[in-house]
Amino acid sequence: MAEPTLSVYLPTYNHAALLPGAVAAILSQSRPPDELLIVDDASTDATPAVIAELSRQYPVIHAMRNPINQGVAKIMHWVPAKLHGDYLYGAASDDRVVTSFFAAAMQWAHQFPRAGVIFGQIPTYDTQGRFLYSTGVSRWPHSRYASPPEFMRDCLESELAAHSLSGATVYRRRALLDSGGFRPELGSWLDTFAIRVLGLTHGVCYLAQPCMAWRLSADSVSQSAARSPRTLWQTVNRAAALMRSDEYRHLFPEAHVRRWVKGYRFIIAEQYLLARLGPGITHRAARSRLAQNMRQKFHHWLGQGSFPFR
């Protein structure tokens, strides 16, 4: 069997200062990508000049520039069809992939070609570089392949409603395209929805190791969404409608959808409150194991209808 190929795409907007570091982290991988597409989303800073210089340094880089700003969701909708690799990964200018991530992901892709996605752990830091917390799948202490029923039971039914490892996810490109791709109407949740669809269709590979470092900043997509509960609630309703649609209802049992919506209602209220209190409170809550345990218990109470504290 031929070794699978990997394409990486990197949308960027006015991140001229961060772009060289992001590209260096991608191309210094022990298993570098076969293709790197940088999409300049109509930047108004020095980003075009930086991309031109990076393209001269690294022949593997291809660049595109949008004439008007589209936003990440619209870029993610069309970019998979522009790539050529068997697998794809979406990078960000302000995050860093761990050096061994691509090698590990492609090794598991070769071993389990039926898997729809390969994802791993995400350690999270604040803008000062201080460690906050690490996200993974709590029921999976070791790297493994999980079938669709195992993915539903151990991950979707056990983790918080907002749980996502999208920043450390490699997608099987053909499976992604065949499943409807990234749905731009889901905004910041479009990649997480795609992971769930692919996992429930083909199964997943999980890497029990840090795969990318996420920088929690006030201007990140997830944090800006958390400050707008109305927008986030609209996204949840759109996602629930998709889960119940003829296209996807065979993957998402109605009982699961109801539990997920109830759980996310709590998450939206919590994120909005923490965002209003400021990053100091948010970061302390993120580091608190007691707060994490309380959230988990409340999530299960919302889903199961039993009192959370015994």
Task: Look at residues 146, 129, 140, 123 and name the one whose alpha carbon lies nearest to residue 199.
Answer: 146
**Could you tell me the sign of the dihedral formed by the alpha carbons of 271, 267, 225, 190, in that order?**
positive
Phi, psi of 147 (to 5 degrees): -70, 165
Q: What is the CB-side half-sphere exposure of residue 103 using CA atoms within 13 A?
A: 10
Domain 1-94: CATH class, spelled out: alpha beta
Averaged pLDDT of the chain = 88
pLDDT of residue 39: 98
Given a cut of 70, whether residue 266 has pLDDT beyond it is: yes
Burial 258-271 (b: 16+ CB within 10 A, else e): ebbbebbebbbebb
Rounded to whole angstroms, how far apart are CA atoms 19 and 51? 8
This prediction's pTM: 0.87
Task: Look at residues 211, 307, 302 and name the one whose alpha carbon lies nearest to residue 261.
Answer: 302
Q: How far is CA 149 from the centre of its chain?
A: 21
Percent residues over pLDDT 70 in the chain: 84
| pLDDT confidence bin for 216, thresholds 50/70/90 | confident
pLDDT of residue 219: 56
Given a cut of 50, whether residue 307 has pLDDT beyond it is: no
Q: pLDDT for 177-195, tens place per residue?
A: 999 999 999 998 999 999 9
Q: Are 45 and 117 in contact (CB under 8 A)?
A: no
| pLDDT confidence bin for 299, thresholds 50/70/90 | low
Pairing of strands 204-210, 144-146: antiparallel
How many of the other CB atoms lie within 10 Å of CB of 305? 9
Q: What is the CB-side half-sphere exposure of residue 98 using CA atoms within 13 A?
A: 22
Rounded to whole angstroms, how far apart are CA atoms 228 and 129? 26
Rounded to whole angstroms, how far apart are CA atoms 155 and 93? 28
Q: pLDDT for 108-162, tens place per residue?
A: 999 999 999 999 999 988 878 888 889 999 999 999 999 999 999 999 999 999 9
Three-state SS string across the chain, please? Answer: CCCCCEEEEEEECCCCCCHHHHHHHHHCCCCCCCEEEEEECCCCCCHHHHHHHHHHHCCCEEEEECCCCCCHHHHHHHHHHHCCCCEEEECCCCCEECCCHHHHHHHHHHHCCCCCEEEEEEEEECCCCCEEEEECCCCCCCCEEECHHHHHHHHHCCCCCCCCCHHHEEEEHHHHHHCCCCCHHHHHHHHHHHHHHHHHHHCEEEEEEECEEEECCCCCHHHHHHCCHHHHHHHHHHHHHHHCCCCCCCCCCHHHHHHHHHHHHHHHHHHHHHHHHCHHHHHHHHHCHHHHHHHHHHHHHHHHCCCCCC
pLDDT of residue 127: 77
Tokens 């209190």, residue? 277
> Residue type for 36, please?
L
Top-confidence residue, 37 or 298: 37
Task: Look at residues 71, 70, 12, 72 and name the one whose alpha carbon lies nearest to residue 45.
Answer: 12
The mean pLDDT of 64-72, rounded to a whole number, is 96
pLDDT of residue 228: 74
pLDDT of residue 268: 84
**Dihedral (C-alpha) 155, 175, 187, 258: value to the nearest 10 degrees?**
-40
| pLDDT confidence bin for 274, thresholds 50/70/90 | low
